[in-house]
Chain A
Amino acid sequence: AQTVTQSQPEMSVQEAETVTLSCTYDTSESDYYLFWYKQPPSRQMILVIRQEAYKQQNATENRFSVNFQKAAKSFSLKISDSQLGDAAMYFCAYTHSTGNQFYFGTGTSLTVIP
């Protein structure tokens, strides 16, 4: 069974600094997708970044980048130049390439300190 683990329930970062959120997953599949979603307080969950397992290059979206280690089944999110608006719950998610069932981690609550 697929599982997604986020071992950091809470993290904090100084404004303008860099923070890395960890995620590991377990799967026997070779073709899948990984996502980081952001859920601001009382707001809708939105997609931050996605990674296709067949791509070796790490995905990047502006200040957000991932470190995808397929062999280690690790998928961490790096937020550079943190901003107050980055404060949110972050969820790591997995889905198989031909499936529509997403598996989410328990989330990491990120606090940005001014």
Chain B
Amino acid sequence: KAGVTQTPRYLIKTRGQQVTLSCSPISGHRSVSWYQQTPGQGLQFLFEYFSETQRNKGNFPGRFSGRQFSNSRSEMNVSTLELGDSALYLCASSIDGRFSYNEQFFGPGTRLTVL
């Protein structure tokens, strides 16, 4: 079974631009979560999508948004980029059994650099 894939792997943008990151979950996985990873901050939860609906949301400004398609693929968008948005953005998918734990399988991440 193919793992979680993220595209692109690397991105360089300038302040004020917007960016869209893509995540394809493992086949059969219906939950997709997004995280921002920065040195010293660890992984900060952005949001989680399930069946095309945002089910959980972290404490990030509205410039960060996402969506999920009917095939469970997800995109994350950051508008009006700031220098502080430079980070590794990780996507993770899980099967989602609501009454059981859900191991999250991570993608390789997208390294975003904002100049």
Binding site for B on A (CB under 8 A): 6, 9, 33, 35, 37, 43-47, 50, 52, 91, 95, 97-107
A54, chain B: closest CB distance, angstroms? 11
Residues of B within 8 A of A97 (CB): 99-101
Is A106 touching B41 in the complex (CB atoms < 8 A)?
A: yes
Is A100 touching B102 in the complex (CB atoms < 8 A)?
A: yes
Residues of B within 8 A of A101 (CB): 33, 45, 48, 56, 58
Residues of B within 8 A of A107 (CB): 42
Q: CB-nearest residue of chain B relative to A51?
A: B101
16 further interface pairs, Cβ-Cβ under 8 Å (given A9-B40, A35-B103): A46-B106, A47-B104, A91-B42, A95-B102, A97-B100, A97-B101, A100-B48, A101-B48, A101-B56, A102-B45, A102-B92, A104-B35, A104-B44, A106-B41, A106-B42, A107-B42
- The interface size bin for chain B is 20 to 34
CB<8 Å pairs between A and B, sample of 5 = A37-B106, A44-B109, A100-B48, A100-B96, A104-B35
Binding site for A on B (CB under 8 A): 3-4, 31, 33, 35, 40-45, 48, 50, 55-56, 58, 90, 92, 94, 96, 98-109
- What CA separation (Å) do A43 and B3 show in the bound complex? 13
